[in-house]
Structure 1
Amino acid sequence: MIGLDDISMEAQPKTSGSGTILWLCGWGMPDTVFDRTRELLPDFHHVSVDYSDADSPEEMLLLTEIAVKNILYSNGDASRTRVVHGPLLIGGWSLGGLLALRLAIKGFADGLVLFGATARFTRSKEESDLGWADIYVRKMIAGLAQNRQDVEAKFRQLIFTEAEWEAALGISLPPIGSWTTSALIAGLQILRSEECLPQLKSITCPVFLVHGTEDRICPYGAASELMAQLPKANLLTIPASGHAPFLGREGQIANELRRWWHEQQDK
Protein backbone atom coordinates (compact mmCIF):
# COMPACT_ATOMS: atom_id res chain seq x y z
CA MET A 1 0.00 0.00 0.00
CA ILE A 2 1.38 3.40 -1.01
CA GLY A 3 0.55 6.37 1.15
CA LEU A 4 1.58 9.99 1.51
CA ASP A 5 4.02 8.99 4.25
CA ASP A 6 6.17 7.46 1.51
CA ILE A 7 6.73 10.93 0.04
CA SER A 8 8.57 13.55 2.09
CA MET A 9 6.94 16.76 0.97
CA GLU A 10 4.48 19.47 1.89
CA ALA A 11 0.90 19.12 0.69
CA GLN A 12 1.32 22.23 -1.45
CA PRO A 13 5.09 22.59 -1.92
CA LYS A 14 6.40 26.12 -2.11
CA THR A 15 9.06 26.94 -4.64
CA SER A 16 12.09 28.96 -3.66
CA GLY A 17 13.65 31.40 -6.08
CA SER A 18 15.48 28.80 -8.15
CA GLY A 19 12.78 26.14 -8.17
CA THR A 20 12.22 22.72 -6.62
CA ILE A 21 14.55 19.72 -6.60
CA LEU A 22 13.11 16.23 -6.20
CA TRP A 23 15.87 13.96 -4.84
CA LEU A 24 16.11 10.24 -5.67
CA CYS A 25 18.73 8.28 -3.74
CA GLY A 26 20.91 5.34 -4.72
CA TRP A 27 20.47 1.65 -3.97
CA GLY A 28 20.32 0.80 -0.28
CA MET A 29 20.78 4.43 0.77
CA PRO A 30 18.50 6.79 2.68
CA ASP A 31 18.20 10.22 1.16
CA THR A 32 20.05 11.73 4.14
CA VAL A 33 23.18 11.36 1.96
CA PHE A 34 21.96 14.54 0.23
CA ASP A 35 21.45 16.53 3.46
CA ARG A 36 24.64 18.58 3.32
CA THR A 37 24.19 19.38 -0.39
CA ARG A 38 20.62 20.51 0.27
CA GLU A 39 21.73 22.71 3.16
CA LEU A 40 24.06 24.50 0.77
CA LEU A 41 21.23 25.09 -1.72
CA PRO A 42 18.72 27.09 0.38
CA ASP A 43 17.54 28.92 -2.73
CA PHE A 44 15.78 25.71 -3.84
CA HIS A 45 12.80 23.95 -2.30
CA HIS A 46 13.70 20.31 -1.62
CA VAL A 47 11.46 17.23 -1.85
CA SER A 48 12.39 13.56 -1.54
CA VAL A 49 10.84 10.15 -2.13
CA ASP A 50 11.23 7.25 0.29
CA TYR A 51 11.17 3.97 -1.61
CA SER A 52 13.17 2.07 1.01
CA ASP A 53 10.30 -0.32 1.79
CA ALA A 54 8.89 -0.82 -1.71
CA ASP A 55 7.60 -4.35 -2.21
CA SER A 56 8.26 -4.54 -5.94
CA PRO A 57 9.91 -2.72 -8.86
CA GLU A 58 6.46 -1.54 -9.94
CA GLU A 59 5.80 0.06 -6.56
CA MET A 60 9.20 1.75 -6.57
CA LEU A 61 8.57 3.22 -10.00
CA LEU A 62 5.05 4.27 -9.01
CA LEU A 63 6.28 6.08 -5.90
CA THR A 64 8.52 8.32 -8.00
CA GLU A 65 5.69 9.15 -10.41
CA ILE A 66 3.27 9.91 -7.57
CA ALA A 67 5.84 12.28 -6.06
CA VAL A 68 6.31 14.19 -9.31
CA LYS A 69 2.59 14.46 -9.98
CA ASN A 70 1.90 15.63 -6.42
CA ILE A 71 4.49 18.38 -6.88
CA LEU A 72 3.33 19.50 -10.30
CA TYR A 73 -0.43 19.04 -10.34
CA SER A 74 -3.40 19.67 -8.12
CA ASN A 75 -4.24 16.46 -6.22
CA GLY A 76 -1.64 14.63 -8.28
CA ASP A 77 -3.89 14.74 -11.32
CA ALA A 78 -1.74 15.20 -14.42
CA SER A 79 -4.80 16.18 -16.46
CA ARG A 80 -5.15 19.35 -14.41
CA THR A 81 -3.29 22.62 -14.58
CA ARG A 82 0.26 22.68 -13.27
CA VAL A 83 0.28 24.23 -9.78
CA VAL A 84 4.02 24.70 -9.26
CA HIS A 85 5.02 27.70 -11.31
CA GLY A 86 8.75 27.44 -10.70
CA PRO A 87 10.95 24.88 -12.47
CA LEU A 88 11.25 21.30 -11.25
CA LEU A 89 14.68 19.70 -11.24
CA ILE A 90 15.03 15.98 -10.54
CA GLY A 91 18.27 14.96 -8.85
CA GLY A 92 19.29 11.32 -8.81
CA TRP A 93 22.26 9.26 -7.70
CA SER A 94 22.99 5.88 -9.31
CA LEU A 95 19.68 3.96 -9.20
CA GLY A 96 18.04 7.32 -8.52
CA GLY A 97 19.66 8.66 -11.66
CA LEU A 98 18.07 5.91 -13.72
CA LEU A 99 14.70 6.70 -12.13
CA ALA A 100 15.23 10.40 -12.86
CA LEU A 101 15.96 9.70 -16.54
CA ARG A 102 12.77 7.65 -16.72
CA LEU A 103 10.73 10.56 -15.33
CA ALA A 104 12.38 13.00 -17.73
CA ILE A 105 11.49 10.76 -20.67
CA LYS A 106 7.87 11.04 -19.51
CA GLY A 107 8.20 14.83 -19.64
CA PHE A 108 8.10 15.62 -15.93
CA ALA A 109 11.46 17.42 -15.52
CA ASP A 110 12.56 20.97 -16.32
CA GLY A 111 16.11 19.91 -15.53
CA LEU A 112 18.10 16.91 -14.33
CA VAL A 113 21.01 16.64 -11.90
CA LEU A 114 22.61 13.20 -12.11
CA PHE A 115 25.39 11.80 -9.91
CA GLY A 116 27.18 8.61 -10.98
CA ALA A 117 24.34 7.83 -13.36
CA THR A 118 23.78 5.56 -16.33
CA ALA A 119 21.07 5.00 -18.92
CA ARG A 120 21.50 1.23 -18.69
CA PHE A 121 23.16 -0.48 -15.74
CA THR A 122 23.65 -4.05 -16.96
CA ARG A 123 25.78 -4.51 -20.06
CA SER A 124 27.29 -7.19 -22.25
CA LYS A 125 30.86 -8.41 -21.78
CA GLU A 126 31.90 -6.17 -24.68
CA GLU A 127 30.53 -3.12 -22.83
CA SER A 128 32.25 -3.69 -19.48
CA ASP A 129 33.48 -0.09 -19.62
CA LEU A 130 29.84 1.04 -19.45
CA GLY A 131 28.32 -1.14 -16.73
CA TRP A 132 28.07 -4.49 -14.97
CA ALA A 133 27.34 -7.94 -16.32
CA ASP A 134 23.83 -9.08 -15.40
CA ILE A 135 25.17 -12.15 -13.60
CA TYR A 136 26.72 -9.97 -10.89
CA VAL A 137 23.39 -8.32 -10.15
CA ARG A 138 21.63 -11.69 -10.09
CA LYS A 139 24.22 -12.95 -7.60
CA MET A 140 23.50 -9.95 -5.39
CA ILE A 141 19.77 -10.72 -5.47
CA ALA A 142 20.43 -14.35 -4.53
CA GLY A 143 22.86 -13.29 -1.82
CA LEU A 144 20.34 -11.01 -0.13
CA ALA A 145 18.35 -14.05 1.00
CA GLN A 146 21.45 -15.55 2.61
CA ASN A 147 23.28 -12.58 4.13
CA ARG A 148 21.99 -9.17 3.17
CA GLN A 149 24.44 -7.40 5.47
CA ASP A 150 27.34 -8.93 3.56
CA VAL A 151 25.86 -8.02 0.17
CA GLU A 152 25.35 -4.40 1.18
CA ALA A 153 28.79 -4.16 2.79
CA LYS A 154 30.55 -5.50 -0.31
CA PHE A 155 28.60 -3.12 -2.55
CA ARG A 156 29.48 -0.15 -0.35
CA GLN A 157 33.14 -1.07 -0.48
CA LEU A 158 33.00 -0.29 -4.21
CA ILE A 159 31.56 3.19 -3.74
CA PHE A 160 34.83 4.91 -2.90
CA THR A 161 38.36 4.65 -4.22
CA GLU A 162 41.10 3.46 -1.86
CA ALA A 163 42.25 7.05 -1.44
CA GLU A 164 38.72 8.16 -0.59
CA TRP A 165 38.41 5.40 2.02
CA GLU A 166 41.74 6.47 3.49
CA ALA A 167 40.46 10.04 3.59
CA ALA A 168 37.56 8.75 5.74
CA LEU A 169 34.83 9.59 3.25
CA GLY A 170 33.16 6.36 4.32
CA ILE A 171 31.94 7.99 7.53
CA SER A 172 29.61 10.11 5.41
CA LEU A 173 27.59 7.02 4.48
CA PRO A 174 24.53 6.27 6.64
CA PRO A 175 24.50 2.90 8.47
CA ILE A 176 23.59 -0.24 6.55
CA GLY A 177 20.05 -1.54 6.96
CA SER A 178 17.76 1.36 6.08
CA TRP A 179 16.06 -0.56 3.23
CA THR A 180 13.90 -3.66 3.51
CA THR A 181 15.08 -6.78 1.71
CA SER A 182 12.14 -6.54 -0.69
CA ALA A 183 13.12 -2.97 -1.60
CA LEU A 184 16.76 -3.99 -2.14
CA ILE A 185 15.60 -6.73 -4.51
CA ALA A 186 13.20 -4.35 -6.27
CA GLY A 187 15.99 -1.83 -6.82
CA LEU A 188 18.30 -4.48 -8.26
CA GLN A 189 15.56 -5.72 -10.55
CA ILE A 190 15.14 -2.17 -11.88
CA LEU A 191 18.90 -1.98 -12.44
CA ARG A 192 18.67 -5.22 -14.41
CA SER A 193 15.75 -4.20 -16.60
CA GLU A 194 15.37 -0.45 -16.93
CA GLU A 195 16.50 0.78 -20.35
CA CYS A 196 16.60 4.50 -21.10
CA LEU A 197 19.18 4.54 -23.90
CA PRO A 198 16.79 4.52 -26.87
CA GLN A 199 14.87 7.54 -25.57
CA LEU A 200 17.70 9.78 -24.36
CA LYS A 201 17.45 12.12 -27.33
CA SER A 202 13.84 12.87 -26.35
CA ILE A 203 15.06 14.47 -23.09
CA THR A 204 15.25 18.10 -24.16
CA CYS A 205 15.63 19.67 -20.71
CA PRO A 206 19.09 20.73 -19.44
CA VAL A 207 21.05 17.96 -17.70
CA PHE A 208 23.91 18.42 -15.23
CA LEU A 209 26.06 15.29 -14.95
CA VAL A 210 28.55 14.77 -12.13
CA HIS A 211 30.74 11.69 -12.49
CA GLY A 212 33.93 10.38 -10.93
CA THR A 213 36.65 9.09 -13.22
CA GLU A 214 37.28 6.07 -10.97
CA ASP A 215 33.66 4.99 -10.56
CA ARG A 216 33.55 1.18 -10.22
CA ILE A 217 29.76 0.89 -10.11
CA CYS A 218 28.68 3.14 -12.99
CA PRO A 219 31.91 3.47 -15.00
CA TYR A 220 32.91 6.84 -16.39
CA GLY A 221 32.13 5.53 -19.87
CA ALA A 222 28.44 5.68 -18.91
CA ALA A 223 28.78 9.43 -18.37
CA SER A 224 30.45 9.85 -21.76
CA GLU A 225 27.57 7.89 -23.29
CA LEU A 226 25.02 10.18 -21.65
CA MET A 227 26.90 13.24 -22.86
CA ALA A 228 26.84 11.93 -26.43
CA GLN A 229 23.11 11.15 -26.40
CA LEU A 230 21.51 13.89 -24.32
CA PRO A 231 20.86 17.06 -26.36
CA LYS A 232 21.48 19.54 -23.50
CA ALA A 233 23.96 17.86 -21.16
CA ASN A 234 26.88 19.36 -19.24
CA LEU A 235 29.42 17.11 -17.55
CA LEU A 236 31.36 17.95 -14.40
CA THR A 237 34.17 15.41 -14.18
CA ILE A 238 35.56 14.70 -10.72
CA PRO A 239 39.09 13.27 -11.11
CA ALA A 240 40.16 10.35 -8.90
CA SER A 241 36.63 10.05 -7.50
CA GLY A 242 34.49 6.95 -7.20
CA HIS A 243 30.75 6.41 -7.26
CA ALA A 244 29.75 9.18 -4.83
CA PRO A 245 31.36 12.28 -6.36
CA PHE A 246 29.21 14.66 -4.32
CA LEU A 247 30.18 13.32 -0.87
CA GLY A 248 32.99 15.30 0.70
CA ARG A 249 32.67 17.87 -2.10
CA GLU A 250 29.26 19.28 -1.26
CA GLY A 251 30.40 22.91 -1.37
CA GLN A 252 31.91 22.53 -4.84
CA ILE A 253 28.90 20.59 -6.14
CA ALA A 254 26.37 23.09 -4.75
CA ASN A 255 28.26 26.02 -6.32
CA GLU A 256 28.64 24.28 -9.69
CA LEU A 257 24.98 23.18 -9.71
CA ARG A 258 23.77 26.69 -8.91
CA ARG A 259 26.05 28.25 -11.53
CA TRP A 260 24.90 25.75 -14.17
CA TRP A 261 21.22 26.29 -13.40
CA HIS A 262 21.50 30.07 -13.46
CA GLU A 263 23.21 29.81 -16.84
CA GLN A 264 20.29 27.74 -18.11
CA GLN A 265 17.81 30.30 -16.83
CA ASP A 266 19.64 33.09 -18.65
CA LYS A 267 19.50 31.34 -22.03
Structure 2
Amino acid sequence: MGYFVTVETGVNLYVEDINPKGSKTIVFLHGWPLNHKQFEYQFDILPARGYRCVGIDWRGFGKSDKPIDGYNYNRLADDIRTIVGALQLENFTLVGHSTGGAIAIRYMSRYKGYGVGKLVLVDAAAPTGFTTETAKQLLKETLHDRPKMIQGVTDQFFFQYITGPFSEWFFQMGLEAAGWSTASVIELLRDETLETDLTKINTPTLLIHGIHDKVIPFAQAKELHQKIKNSQLVPFQYSGHGPFWEEHDKFNQLLIQFS
Protein backbone atom coordinates (compact mmCIF):
# COMPACT_ATOMS: atom_id res chain seq x y z
CA MET A 1 0.00 0.00 0.00
CA GLY A 2 1.36 3.39 -0.94
CA TYR A 3 0.10 6.77 0.15
CA PHE A 4 1.16 10.34 0.90
CA VAL A 5 1.47 12.09 4.26
CA THR A 6 1.39 15.88 4.49
CA VAL A 7 4.37 17.08 6.55
CA GLU A 8 3.84 20.79 5.99
CA THR A 9 1.63 22.95 3.80
CA GLY A 10 2.20 21.93 0.20
CA VAL A 11 4.70 19.16 0.99
CA ASN A 12 3.57 15.53 0.84
CA LEU A 13 5.90 12.61 1.41
CA TYR A 14 5.42 9.18 -0.11
CA VAL A 15 5.15 6.17 2.22
CA GLU A 16 5.25 2.56 1.07
CA ASP A 17 3.47 0.52 3.76
CA ILE A 18 3.87 -3.22 3.24
CA ASN A 19 1.89 -5.69 5.38
CA PRO A 20 0.22 -3.06 7.64
CA LYS A 21 -1.15 -5.83 9.86
CA GLY A 22 2.31 -7.21 10.64
CA SER A 23 3.09 -7.98 14.28
CA LYS A 24 6.31 -5.92 14.32
CA THR A 25 7.13 -2.71 12.46
CA ILE A 26 10.37 -1.68 10.77
CA VAL A 27 10.70 1.84 9.34
CA PHE A 28 13.30 2.28 6.59
CA LEU A 29 15.11 5.53 5.75
CA HIS A 30 17.00 5.35 2.45
CA GLY A 31 20.34 6.89 1.52
CA TRP A 32 21.26 9.75 -0.81
CA PRO A 33 20.35 10.10 -3.67
CA LEU A 34 18.06 7.06 -3.65
CA ASN A 35 14.58 6.25 -2.31
CA HIS A 36 12.67 3.52 -0.49
CA LYS A 37 13.07 1.11 -3.41
CA GLN A 38 16.69 0.48 -2.41
CA PHE A 39 15.28 -1.87 0.25
CA GLU A 40 13.56 -4.15 -2.28
CA TYR A 41 15.52 -7.16 -1.01
CA GLN A 42 14.21 -6.56 2.50
CA PHE A 43 10.65 -5.93 1.36
CA ASP A 44 10.76 -9.23 -0.56
CA ILE A 45 11.42 -11.22 2.61
CA LEU A 46 10.49 -9.50 5.87
CA PRO A 47 6.72 -8.98 5.35
CA ALA A 48 6.34 -12.72 4.71
CA ARG A 49 7.99 -13.25 8.10
CA GLY A 50 5.29 -11.17 9.79
CA TYR A 51 6.87 -7.71 9.67
CA ARG A 52 5.23 -4.47 8.71
CA CYS A 53 7.75 -2.61 6.54
CA VAL A 54 7.37 1.15 6.14
CA GLY A 55 9.56 2.78 3.51
CA ILE A 56 9.69 6.60 3.46
CA ASP A 57 10.91 8.74 0.57
CA TRP A 58 12.32 11.85 2.17
CA ARG A 59 11.45 15.23 0.71
CA GLY A 60 13.08 15.82 -2.66
CA PHE A 61 13.55 12.12 -3.41
CA GLY A 62 11.62 9.26 -4.96
CA LYS A 63 7.89 9.86 -5.22
CA SER A 64 7.78 12.56 -2.53
CA ASP A 65 7.22 16.24 -3.24
CA LYS A 66 10.36 18.17 -4.05
CA PRO A 67 10.26 21.59 -2.40
CA ILE A 68 13.13 23.99 -2.91
CA ASP A 69 14.02 24.06 0.80
CA GLY A 70 13.99 22.03 4.00
CA TYR A 71 17.14 19.99 3.42
CA ASN A 72 18.68 20.08 6.88
CA TYR A 73 18.73 17.44 9.60
CA ASN A 74 16.19 19.17 11.82
CA ARG A 75 13.59 19.54 9.06
CA LEU A 76 14.17 16.01 7.74
CA ALA A 77 13.81 14.63 11.28
CA ASP A 78 10.65 16.70 11.74
CA ASP A 79 9.23 15.08 8.60
CA ILE A 80 9.85 11.62 10.06
CA ARG A 81 8.21 12.62 13.35
CA THR A 82 5.11 13.80 11.47
CA ILE A 83 4.86 10.48 9.63
CA VAL A 84 5.36 8.49 12.84
CA GLY A 85 2.48 10.44 14.37
CA ALA A 86 0.24 10.13 11.32
CA LEU A 87 0.73 6.35 11.20
CA GLN A 88 0.54 6.08 15.02
CA LEU A 89 3.70 3.97 15.08
CA GLU A 90 4.92 2.61 18.40
CA ASN A 91 7.82 0.42 19.51
CA PHE A 92 9.18 0.14 15.96
CA THR A 93 12.66 -0.56 14.68
CA LEU A 94 14.14 2.42 12.83
CA VAL A 95 16.61 1.50 10.07
CA GLY A 96 18.63 4.28 8.46
CA HIS A 97 21.16 3.79 5.66
CA SER A 98 23.92 6.32 4.94
CA THR A 99 22.31 9.80 5.02
CA GLY A 100 19.16 8.07 6.22
CA GLY A 101 21.23 6.89 9.17
CA ALA A 102 22.25 10.49 9.88
CA ILE A 103 18.59 11.56 9.75
CA ALA A 104 17.74 8.72 12.13
CA ILE A 105 20.40 9.92 14.57
CA ARG A 106 18.99 13.46 14.55
CA TYR A 107 15.48 12.04 15.02
CA MET A 108 16.67 10.09 18.05
CA SER A 109 18.28 13.12 19.68
CA ARG A 110 15.69 15.71 18.66
CA TYR A 111 12.66 13.62 19.68
CA LYS A 112 14.23 11.43 22.37
CA GLY A 113 13.68 8.38 20.19
CA TYR A 114 9.92 8.84 20.14
CA GLY A 115 8.27 5.52 19.26
CA VAL A 116 11.57 3.77 18.52
CA GLY A 117 12.24 0.48 20.29
CA LYS A 118 15.39 -0.43 18.38
CA LEU A 119 17.75 1.54 16.11
CA VAL A 120 19.73 0.14 13.17
CA LEU A 121 22.36 2.32 11.49
CA VAL A 122 23.66 0.96 8.18
CA ASP A 123 26.88 2.52 6.84
CA ALA A 124 25.64 5.73 8.45
CA ALA A 125 26.97 9.07 7.21
CA ALA A 126 27.86 10.06 10.76
CA PRO A 127 29.18 11.76 12.74
CA THR A 128 30.34 13.47 9.54
CA GLY A 129 29.35 13.08 5.89
CA PHE A 130 31.38 14.36 2.95
CA THR A 131 34.72 16.10 3.07
CA THR A 132 34.94 19.56 1.52
CA GLU A 133 36.84 18.14 -1.45
CA THR A 134 34.34 15.33 -2.10
CA ALA A 135 31.38 17.69 -1.76
CA LYS A 136 32.96 20.19 -4.17
CA GLN A 137 33.39 17.55 -6.85
CA LEU A 138 29.92 16.06 -6.36
CA LEU A 139 28.29 19.50 -6.46
CA LYS A 140 30.10 20.41 -9.65
CA GLU A 141 28.96 17.21 -11.35
CA THR A 142 25.41 17.48 -9.97
CA LEU A 143 24.97 20.97 -11.37
CA HIS A 144 26.58 20.21 -14.75
CA ASP A 145 26.10 16.49 -15.45
CA ARG A 146 23.95 14.84 -12.78
CA PRO A 147 23.66 11.49 -14.62
CA LYS A 148 27.46 11.21 -14.69
CA MET A 149 27.61 11.96 -10.98
CA ILE A 150 25.02 9.28 -10.15
CA GLN A 151 26.81 6.75 -12.33
CA GLY A 152 30.03 7.53 -10.48
CA VAL A 153 28.31 6.98 -7.13
CA THR A 154 26.88 3.69 -8.38
CA ASP A 155 30.29 2.53 -9.58
CA GLN A 156 31.90 2.95 -6.15
CA PHE A 157 28.88 1.92 -4.08
CA PHE A 158 29.36 -1.84 -4.08
CA PHE A 159 32.24 -4.17 -3.27
CA GLN A 160 30.69 -7.20 -4.93
CA TYR A 161 30.08 -7.46 -8.67
CA ILE A 162 26.81 -5.99 -9.93
CA THR A 163 25.28 -6.76 -13.31
CA GLY A 164 24.58 -4.16 -15.98
CA PRO A 165 20.80 -4.34 -15.44
CA PHE A 166 21.21 -3.94 -11.68
CA SER A 167 23.50 -0.94 -12.19
CA GLU A 168 20.91 0.63 -14.50
CA TRP A 169 18.12 0.07 -11.97
CA PHE A 170 20.21 1.68 -9.24
CA PHE A 171 21.17 4.55 -11.54
CA GLN A 172 17.54 5.27 -12.46
CA MET A 173 16.61 5.36 -8.78
CA GLY A 174 19.04 8.23 -8.26
CA LEU A 175 17.57 10.14 -11.20
CA GLU A 176 14.13 10.14 -9.55
CA ALA A 177 15.40 12.81 -7.16
CA ALA A 178 15.34 16.48 -8.10
CA GLY A 179 18.62 18.13 -9.03
CA TRP A 180 18.22 20.83 -6.39
CA SER A 181 17.47 18.38 -3.57
CA THR A 182 20.41 16.22 -4.66
CA ALA A 183 22.70 19.26 -4.45
CA SER A 184 21.22 20.50 -1.17
CA VAL A 185 21.90 17.20 0.58
CA ILE A 186 25.51 17.25 -0.62
CA GLU A 187 25.81 20.62 1.12
CA LEU A 188 24.10 19.18 4.21
CA LEU A 189 26.59 16.31 4.35
CA ARG A 190 29.43 18.82 4.00
CA ASP A 191 28.24 21.37 6.56
CA GLU A 192 26.39 19.58 9.37
CA THR A 193 27.79 17.15 11.93
CA LEU A 194 26.16 14.88 14.50
CA GLU A 195 28.80 14.74 17.23
CA THR A 196 26.56 16.08 19.97
CA ASP A 197 23.62 13.86 18.98
CA LEU A 198 25.35 10.55 19.62
CA THR A 199 25.48 10.70 23.41
CA LYS A 200 21.73 11.36 23.52
CA ILE A 201 20.87 7.96 22.06
CA ASN A 202 19.85 5.45 24.73
CA THR A 203 17.94 2.97 22.56
CA PRO A 204 19.55 -0.42 21.79
CA THR A 205 21.47 0.19 18.56
CA LEU A 206 22.80 -2.17 15.91
CA LEU A 207 25.59 -0.82 13.69
CA ILE A 208 26.01 -2.55 10.33
CA HIS A 209 28.87 -1.42 8.10
CA GLY A 210 30.67 -2.84 5.09
CA ILE A 211 34.41 -3.02 5.73
CA HIS A 212 35.10 -2.15 2.07
CA ASP A 213 32.92 0.98 2.11
CA LYS A 214 34.46 3.67 -0.13
CA VAL A 215 31.69 6.21 0.59
CA ILE A 216 31.67 6.24 4.41
CA PRO A 217 34.84 4.63 5.83
CA PHE A 218 34.47 1.74 8.27
CA ALA A 219 36.41 3.80 10.83
CA GLN A 220 33.32 5.96 11.28
CA ALA A 221 31.32 2.92 12.37
CA LYS A 222 33.93 2.28 15.06
CA GLU A 223 33.55 5.86 16.24
CA LEU A 224 29.76 5.49 16.44
CA HIS A 225 30.21 2.29 18.42
CA GLN A 226 32.40 4.12 20.93
CA LYS A 227 30.00 7.04 21.36
CA ILE A 228 26.55 5.42 21.24
CA LYS A 229 25.69 3.69 24.48
CA ASN A 230 24.27 0.16 24.28
CA SER A 231 25.43 -0.31 20.69
CA GLN A 232 26.85 -3.34 18.90
CA LEU A 233 28.88 -3.25 15.69
CA VAL A 234 28.63 -6.01 13.09
CA PRO A 235 31.19 -5.69 10.27
CA PHE A 236 30.07 -7.01 6.88
CA GLN A 237 33.15 -8.63 5.40
CA TYR A 238 31.96 -8.78 1.78
CA SER A 239 30.20 -5.42 1.46
CA GLY A 240 30.97 -1.88 0.43
CA HIS A 241 28.32 0.78 1.01
CA GLY A 242 25.39 -1.54 0.27
CA PRO A 243 25.19 -4.50 2.69
CA PHE A 244 21.38 -4.44 2.36
CA TRP A 245 21.97 -5.96 -1.10
CA GLU A 246 25.53 -7.32 -1.10
CA GLU A 247 24.90 -9.60 1.88
CA HIS A 248 21.13 -9.35 2.02
CA ASP A 249 20.53 -12.80 3.51
CA LYS A 250 22.80 -12.00 6.45
CA PHE A 251 21.37 -8.48 6.65
CA ASN A 252 17.77 -9.69 6.76
CA GLN A 253 18.54 -12.34 9.37
CA LEU A 254 20.20 -9.74 11.58
CA LEU A 255 17.15 -7.49 11.33
CA ILE A 256 14.90 -10.40 12.30
CA GLN A 257 17.09 -11.31 15.27
CA PHE A 258 17.48 -7.73 16.46
CA SER A 259 13.96 -6.33 15.92
Aligned to 2:68: 55
Q: Does the Cα contact within 8 Å between 1:17 and 1:44 map onto a contact in 2?
A: yes
Partners of 2:121 and 2:169 in 1: CA distance = 19
Equivalent residue for 1:164, pick from 156, 161, 164: 161
The answer to whether residue 103 in structure 2 is matched with residue 99 in structure 1 is: yes
Partner of 2:199: helix, strand, or coil?
Answer: helix
Matches within 5 A, 1:63-212: 63-72=76-85, 83-84=88-89, 86-106=90-110, 107=112, 108=114, 109-122=116-129, 132-161=130-159, 163-165=160-162, 170=167, 173=170, 175=172, 176-212=174-210
Aligned to 2:23: 17
Q: Does the Cα contact within 8 Å between 1:7 and 1:67 map onto a contact in 2?
A: no
Q: How far has the Cα of 1:110 moved from its partner?
A: 2.6
Cα deviation code 1:180-216 (max 9, x no counterpart): 1011012112211221122211100011111111100
Q: How far has the Cα of 1:135 moved from its partner?
A: 1.9
Q: Percent identity?
A: 19
Partners of 1:119 and 1:91 in 2: CA distance = 14
Q: Does the Cα contact within 8 Å between 2:158 and 2:242 map onto a contact in 1?
A: yes
Equivalent residue for 1:29, pick from 34, 41, 63: 34
Q: Runs of 5+ in structure 2 lacking a partner? A: 1-7
Count the aligned residue pairs.
239
Q: Runs of 5+ in structure 1 lacking a partner? A: 77-82, 123-131, 262-267
Partners of 2:75 and 2:10 in 1: CA distance = 11
Higher mean C-alpha deviation, range 208-217 or range 134-143: 134-143
More strand, by proportion: 2
Cα deviation code 1:82-105 (max 9, x no counterpart): x44x41222111111111111011
Spell out structure 1 runs of 4+ moving beyond 3 A: 1-5, 57-61, 165-172
Question: Structure 1 pair 67/199, CA: closer, same or farther in 2 (3 Å)?
Answer: closer
Letter in 1 for 2:125: T
Q: Does the Cα contact within 8 Å between 1:33 and 1:172 map onto a contact in 2?
A: no
Partners of 1:2 and 1:184 in 2: CA distance = 22
Q: Does the Cα contact within 8 Å between 2:131 and 2:190 map onto a contact in 1?
A: no
Q: How does the TM-score come out when normalised to structure 1? A: 0.79
Aligned to 2:4: none
Q: How far has the Cα of 1:138 moved from its partner?
A: 2.0
Query: What's the Cα RMSD here?
Result: 2.7
Partner of 1:119: helix, strand, or coil?
Answer: coil
Q: How far has the Cα of 1:112 moved from its partner?
A: 1.4
Q: How far has the Cα of 1:157 moved from its partner?
A: 1.3
Q: Does the Cα contact within 8 Å between 1:164 and 1:241 map onto a contact in 2?
A: no
Equivalent residue for 1:6, pick from 5, 13, 19: 13
Question: Structure 1 pair 57/193, CA: closer, same or farther in 2 (3 Å)?
Answer: farther
Partners of 2:168 and 2:140 in 1: CA distance = 28
Partners of 2:56 and 2:77 in 1: CA distance = 7
Higher mean C-alpha deviation, range 20-29 or range 163-172: 163-172
Partners of 1:60 and 1:198 in 2: CA distance = 13
